Amino acid sequence: MTESGKYSVLFVCLGNICRSPAAQAVLQRMVDERGLSDRFYIDSAGTGGWHIGALPDKRMRVHARPRGYELTHHARKVQASDFEDFGMIVGMDAANVDDLRHLAATIEQQDKVVMMGDYIRQFPHYDHVPDPYYEGSEGFELVLDLLEDACDNLLNRIIEQNNIQQ
C-alpha cells in the first residue's frame, strides 16, 4: 500500500515494450471492471533502457487490441525510487527477478519482488512469461494468455490478503 492508500503494482520485463506494458493493461482492466480503479496504481518498467520513451512493440499492440487492450504506456527503465514507491514489483521471468533483487537496496525492498510465473495456474508447463521479442504471432498470443491467467490470480490474492471490499 502506498502513502496515498493505493495498492501499487509495478510489472517489469527486459525492454518494457512487450510483456510488462501488456501486463499493466490486463491488470488495469480487471481492476476497472471490479470497480477498484481508485484503490490501485499500476505501472510498468524495464530492466534495460534501449526503448525508453517508446510505445509498446507494434506486434504486442496488434495482438492486444482484439482482446480490448489499448497499450499506451511509454517505456521507462526501473529506477531506485520504484522500490520505495511500489508495494509489489513483479518480474516476468527469472532474469528479471534476479536483476530486480540485485537492484533492491534493502531486504525489505527485495521482498517486494515476486515472479509472475508463480501466479500462472491454467498453463502448468509455464513457470514464467517468455520473452516474445524474437518469436512469431503465437509468442505474443501466449504472452497474453499467460498474463490474463496470472493477473486474475494476482488480483484475487491481493484482494484476499488485504480484505478489500469490492
Using CB under 6 A, list all residues that contact ligand 4NP.
13-19, 50, 131, 133
Name which of 13 and 115 has its Cβ closer to ligand 4NP.
Answer: 13
Give one word for 73, left, alpha or beta, with left for phi > 0 and alpha for psi -120 to 50.
beta
150 CB-contact burial (10 Å; exposed 0-12 / middle 13-18 / buried 19+): buried
* 18 among known catalytic residues: no
Query: What does the block give as the cell for 16?
Result: 518494457
Catalytic residue among 18, 19, 82, 99: 19
Which candidate in 43, 82, 99, 131 is catalytic? 131
User: Residue with C-alpha cell 524474437?
Assistant: 134
CB atoms within 10 A of CB 35: 9
Torsion of CA 159, 68, 132, 51, to 10 degrees: -90
- Please confirm, yes or no, whether 157 is among the known catalytic residues: no
Write down the least CB distance from residue 131 to ligand 4NP, Å.
Answer: 5
**Residue 152 CB, nearest distance to ligand 4NP (Å)?**
20
Q: Which of 13, 39, 61, 151 is catalytic?
A: 13
Shortest distance, position 150 Cβ to ligand 4NP, whole Å: 14
* Active-site residue, 13 included: yes
Residues catalogued as catalytic: 13, 19, 131
